[in-house]
Amino acid sequence: MMTLSLTNTTNHMKTLQWFLTLAVATTTHQLKANNNDICDTRLFKQLVNAEKSGIERPALKPSKSLNFLISEYEILCPMQVERDFNGDNQIDWVGIIKQNGQFHLSAYLSGKNQYRLVQIKQYKTLPNNQYLEAYTEKKLRESTGVIGFAAGVKYAVVENKLGNENSVAYIWNGKTLEKLAEFKFVPNF
């Protein structure tokens, strides 16, 4: 009888230890994502070093709905995305930065073996209810009905906004990323 009780206690302790380990791992993962250490990509570091003008990544405090989406889809870096946005077969970086106390949606675009920083838009406050995503032409067409990327362009940048605001798609126009379409974002869980 004593052995059975001890075995049950041992099993409960193992279960408790497993749940604690899982809780610590989950918390650590969320802290890393919120502290953005995981988002310090080569291009972001290159941008910060090249510009030397006080560029930093703002600390995101996501809304409840965005936090749920981040967890559900395992979005590690909701404020940035990297793809070839201008069709030159080199990876570009698009994200939200803080510079001189202001928040900007900016692109670090490749071209002729060098990169340049382009401001796409300025925010009054740091958006906490959206995340950035790269859409293929097919996905953008399905979401917006808009067709026609420029030659060689494979991706558009999309601000997927939750709530009542429309999401916005930006596409390469030969010089910069410009607003292409607005649409209602509906997450598909």
Give yes or no for residue 94 having a pLDDT over 70.
yes
Query: Mean pLDDT of all residues in the chain?
Result: 84
Question: What pTM, to 2 d.p., does this model score?
Answer: 0.78
How far is residue 189's CA from residue 185's CA, in Å, rounded to a whole number? 12
pLDDT, average across residues 114-128: 95
Give yes or no for residue 5 having a pLDDT over 90.
no
Q: Domain-by-domain residue ranges, the chain?
A: 36-183
How far is residue 107's CA from residue 157's CA, in Å, rounded to a whole number? 10
Percent over 90 (pLDDT), the chain:
64
Give yes or no for residue 163 having a pLDDT over 50.
yes
pLDDT for the residue 153: 92
> What is the dihedral angle through the alpha carbons of 50, 51, 53, 58, rounded to the nearest 10 degrees?
-90
Give yes or no for residue 14 having a pLDDT over 80.
no
Beta strands 130-136 and 155-161, pairing class: antiparallel
pLDDT, average across residues 75-87: 96
Lowest mean pLDDT among 41-55, 83-97, 115-129: 41-55
**Ramachandran area for residue 30 (φ above 0: left; ψ -120 to 50: alpha; else beta):** alpha
At residue 69's C-alpha, the angle toward residues 17 and 102, to 5°, is: 110
